[in-house]
Protein backbone atom coordinates (compact mmCIF):
# COMPACT_ATOMS: atom_id res chain seq x y z
CA UNK A 1 0.00 0.00 0.00
CA UNK A 2 1.44 3.44 -0.97
CA UNK A 3 2.40 5.81 1.84
CA UNK A 4 0.67 9.19 1.99
CA UNK A 5 2.84 12.23 1.20
CA UNK A 6 1.83 15.19 3.35
CA UNK A 7 1.41 18.68 1.91
CA UNK A 8 0.91 22.10 3.51
CA UNK A 9 -2.47 21.10 4.94
CA UNK A 10 -2.24 20.23 8.65
CA UNK A 11 -4.86 17.51 8.33
CA UNK A 12 -3.64 13.93 8.79
CA UNK A 13 -4.69 10.90 6.73
CA UNK A 14 -6.50 7.94 8.25
CA UNK A 15 -4.25 5.50 10.12
CA UNK A 16 -6.15 2.71 8.41
CA UNK A 17 -4.22 3.55 5.26
CA UNK A 18 -0.84 2.65 6.79
CA UNK A 19 1.48 0.01 5.39
CA UNK A 20 2.08 -3.29 7.16
CA UNK A 21 4.68 -1.72 9.47
CA UNK A 22 2.34 1.06 10.57
CA UNK A 23 3.83 3.88 8.48
CA UNK A 24 1.00 6.27 7.62
CA UNK A 25 2.66 9.25 5.95
CA UNK A 26 5.91 11.04 5.14
CA UNK A 27 6.74 14.73 5.13
CA UNK A 28 4.92 17.72 6.55
CA UNK A 29 6.22 19.58 9.58
CA UNK A 30 6.29 19.49 13.37
CA UNK A 31 4.00 22.46 13.92
CA UNK A 32 1.77 22.51 16.99
CA UNK A 33 -1.37 22.18 14.87
CA UNK A 34 -0.10 19.17 12.92
CA UNK A 35 1.22 17.38 16.01
CA UNK A 36 -2.08 17.81 17.85
CA UNK A 37 -4.00 16.57 14.80
CA UNK A 38 -1.65 13.60 14.54
CA UNK A 39 -2.04 12.49 18.17
CA UNK A 40 -5.81 12.93 17.99
CA UNK A 41 -5.72 10.64 14.93
CA UNK A 42 -3.62 7.99 16.69
CA UNK A 43 -0.46 8.93 14.78
CA UNK A 44 2.97 9.93 16.09
CA UNK A 45 6.25 11.09 14.49
CA UNK A 46 9.27 8.80 14.58
CA UNK A 47 12.30 9.35 12.36
CA UNK A 48 16.05 9.93 12.39
CA UNK A 49 18.03 13.14 12.08
CA UNK A 50 18.46 14.08 8.42
CA UNK A 51 15.55 11.99 7.13
CA UNK A 52 12.03 13.00 6.12
CA UNK A 53 9.49 13.18 8.95
CA UNK A 54 7.76 9.81 9.21
CA UNK A 55 4.34 9.35 10.83
CA UNK A 56 3.29 6.05 12.41
CA UNK A 57 0.25 4.24 13.75
CA UNK A 58 1.21 0.64 14.56
CA UNK A 59 -1.27 -2.22 14.70
CA UNK A 60 -1.46 -3.62 17.33
CA UNK A 61 -0.94 -0.71 19.73
CA UNK A 62 0.58 -0.99 23.20
CA UNK A 63 -1.54 0.75 25.83
CA UNK A 64 -1.94 0.84 29.58
CA UNK A 65 -5.27 1.19 31.30
CA UNK A 66 -4.45 2.80 34.67
CA UNK A 67 -6.52 0.25 36.58
CA UNK A 68 -4.28 -2.50 35.18
CA UNK A 69 -1.03 -0.97 36.44
CA UNK A 70 1.22 -3.64 37.97
CA UNK A 71 3.46 -2.72 40.89
CA UNK A 72 5.91 -5.43 41.89
CA UNK A 73 6.79 -6.19 45.49
CA UNK A 74 10.26 -4.75 45.01
CA UNK A 75 8.83 -1.50 43.61
CA UNK A 76 6.40 -1.22 46.51
CA UNK A 77 9.36 -1.48 48.85
CA UNK A 78 11.03 1.43 47.06
CA UNK A 79 7.89 3.51 47.46
CA UNK A 80 7.66 2.61 51.15
CA UNK A 81 11.25 3.80 51.55
CA UNK A 82 10.64 6.98 49.52
CA UNK A 83 13.65 5.95 47.44
CA UNK A 84 13.11 8.76 44.93
CA UNK A 85 11.39 12.13 44.73
CA UNK A 86 9.06 12.71 41.77
CA UNK A 87 8.07 16.07 40.30
CA UNK A 88 5.94 17.08 37.32
CA UNK A 89 6.85 19.67 34.67
CA UNK A 90 9.72 21.02 36.74
CA UNK A 91 12.34 20.68 34.00
CA UNK A 92 10.86 19.51 30.72
CA UNK A 93 13.87 20.54 28.64
CA UNK A 94 16.32 18.54 30.75
CA UNK A 95 14.09 15.46 30.56
CA UNK A 96 13.77 15.52 26.77
CA UNK A 97 17.49 16.29 26.42
CA UNK A 98 18.35 13.27 28.57
CA UNK A 99 15.94 11.07 26.60
CA UNK A 100 17.76 12.24 23.47
CA UNK A 101 21.30 11.39 24.61
CA UNK A 102 20.84 8.36 26.87
CA UNK A 103 22.39 5.10 25.67
CA UNK A 104 19.82 2.40 24.91
CA UNK A 105 20.32 -1.34 24.60
CA UNK A 106 20.27 -2.58 20.98
CA UNK A 107 19.75 0.94 19.64
CA UNK A 108 22.23 3.05 17.72
CA UNK A 109 21.74 6.78 18.10
CA UNK A 110 18.45 8.53 18.79
CA UNK A 111 15.16 9.24 17.08
CA UNK A 112 14.67 12.45 19.08
CA UNK A 113 15.99 14.99 16.60
CA UNK A 114 16.84 18.61 17.32
CA UNK A 115 13.67 19.71 15.53
CA UNK A 116 11.62 17.37 17.69
CA UNK A 117 13.16 18.78 20.85
CA UNK A 118 12.17 22.30 19.79
CA UNK A 119 8.67 21.20 18.77
CA UNK A 120 7.93 19.42 22.05
CA UNK A 121 9.36 22.25 24.13
CA UNK A 122 6.81 24.47 22.40
CA UNK A 123 4.06 21.93 23.18
CA UNK A 124 5.20 22.03 26.80
CA UNK A 125 5.10 25.83 26.81
CA UNK A 126 1.40 25.76 25.90
CA UNK A 127 0.64 23.02 28.40
CA UNK A 128 0.21 20.00 26.11
CA UNK A 129 3.54 18.19 26.50
CA UNK A 130 4.28 17.16 30.08
CA UNK A 131 7.29 15.76 31.88
CA UNK A 132 7.95 13.65 34.94
CA UNK A 133 11.24 14.07 36.80
CA UNK A 134 12.76 11.53 39.18
CA UNK A 135 15.31 12.81 41.69
CA UNK A 136 17.82 11.21 44.04
CA UNK A 137 19.70 13.52 46.41
CA UNK A 138 18.74 16.52 44.24
CA UNK A 139 20.15 14.84 41.10
CA UNK A 140 17.92 14.09 38.10
CA UNK A 141 18.25 10.31 37.71
CA UNK A 142 15.24 9.46 35.57
CA UNK A 143 12.24 10.87 33.79
CA UNK A 144 9.76 10.66 30.96
CA UNK A 145 7.60 12.91 28.84
CA UNK A 146 4.52 12.74 26.67
CA UNK A 147 1.40 14.49 25.42
CA UNK A 148 -1.81 15.05 27.40
CA UNK A 149 -4.97 15.50 25.37
CA UNK A 150 -8.34 15.07 27.03
CA UNK A 151 -8.34 11.93 29.15
CA UNK A 152 -5.47 10.34 27.21
CA UNK A 153 -1.74 10.54 27.86
CA UNK A 154 0.50 9.68 24.92
CA UNK A 155 3.85 8.49 26.28
CA UNK A 156 6.85 9.43 24.16
CA UNK A 157 10.15 8.51 25.81
CA UNK A 158 11.81 7.82 29.16
CA UNK A 159 15.33 7.60 30.53
CA UNK A 160 17.03 6.29 33.64
CA UNK A 161 20.48 6.75 35.10
CA UNK A 162 20.03 4.44 38.08
CA UNK A 163 18.12 1.17 38.47
CA UNK A 164 14.32 1.52 38.75
CA UNK A 165 14.26 5.33 38.49
CA UNK A 166 12.18 5.51 35.30
CA UNK A 167 9.89 2.72 36.52
CA UNK A 168 9.36 4.61 39.79
CA UNK A 169 8.47 7.77 37.86
CA UNK A 170 6.18 5.90 35.48
CA UNK A 171 4.19 4.34 38.33
CA UNK A 172 3.84 7.68 40.08
CA UNK A 173 2.77 9.30 36.82
CA UNK A 174 0.09 6.67 36.14
CA UNK A 175 -1.34 7.04 39.63
CA UNK A 176 -1.36 10.84 39.37
CA UNK A 177 -2.91 10.89 35.90
CA UNK A 178 -5.54 8.35 36.94
CA UNK A 179 -6.55 10.57 39.85
CA UNK A 180 -6.83 13.42 37.35
CA UNK A 181 -9.23 11.51 35.13
CA UNK A 182 -6.94 9.95 32.53
CA UNK A 183 -8.46 6.72 31.20
CA UNK A 184 -5.83 5.59 28.71
CA UNK A 185 -2.05 5.76 28.41
CA UNK A 186 -0.60 5.18 24.94
CA UNK A 187 2.72 3.31 25.07
CA UNK A 188 3.04 3.03 21.27
CA UNK A 189 5.24 -0.04 20.76
CA UNK A 190 5.66 -3.20 22.82
CA UNK A 191 8.60 -3.45 25.22
CA UNK A 192 9.16 -5.94 28.03
CA UNK A 193 9.69 -3.02 30.40
CA UNK A 194 6.21 -1.61 29.78
CA UNK A 195 4.50 -5.00 29.66
CA UNK A 196 5.92 -5.73 33.13
CA UNK A 197 4.08 -2.63 34.33
CA UNK A 198 0.73 -3.81 32.97
CA UNK A 199 0.69 -2.50 29.42
CA UNK A 200 -0.87 -4.72 26.75
CA UNK A 201 -1.45 -4.72 23.03
CA UNK A 202 -4.85 -3.98 21.53
CA UNK A 203 -6.03 -3.74 17.94
CA UNK A 204 -5.55 -0.33 16.35
CA UNK A 205 -9.27 -0.20 15.53
CA UNK A 206 -10.10 -0.42 19.24
CA UNK A 207 -7.40 2.12 20.08
CA UNK A 208 -8.88 4.62 17.64
CA UNK A 209 -12.37 4.03 19.08
CA UNK A 210 -11.03 4.70 22.56
CA UNK A 211 -9.45 7.96 21.37
CA UNK A 212 -12.78 9.13 20.00
CA UNK A 213 -14.40 8.50 23.37
CA UNK A 214 -11.71 10.06 25.57
CA UNK A 215 -10.49 13.10 23.59
Does pTM top 0.85 for this prediction? yes
Same domain, 37 and 141: no
Last residue of a domain, one of 59, 83, 103: 59
Same domain, 38 and 71: no
d(CA 183, CA 128): 17
- Report how far residue 174's alpha carbon sits from residue 66's, in angstroms, rounded to the nearest whole number: 6
Same domain, 120 and 19: no
Domain residues for the domain of 159 are 62-214
Residues 45 and 100 in one domain: no
Q: Do both 207 and 126 map to the same domain?
A: yes
Do the Cβ atoms of 185 and 132 come closer than 8 Å? no
Secondary structure class of 176 (helix, strand, coil): helix
Ordered per-residue pLDDT tens for the chain, 215 residues: 678 899 999 999 999 999 999 999 999 999 999 999 999 999 999 998 889 999 999 999 999 999 999 999 999 999 999 999 999 999 999 999 999 997 654 444 457 999 999 999 999 999 999 999 999 999 999 999 999 999 999 999 999 999 999 999 999 999 999 999 999 999 999 999 999 999 999 999 999 999 999 98
Amino acid sequence: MPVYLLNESKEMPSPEGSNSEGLVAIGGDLSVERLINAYKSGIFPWFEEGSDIMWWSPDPRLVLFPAELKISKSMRQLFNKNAFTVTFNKNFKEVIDQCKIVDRINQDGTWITNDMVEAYIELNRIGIAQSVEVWKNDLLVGGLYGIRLGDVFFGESMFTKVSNASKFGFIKMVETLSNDGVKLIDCQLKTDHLVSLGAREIERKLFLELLENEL
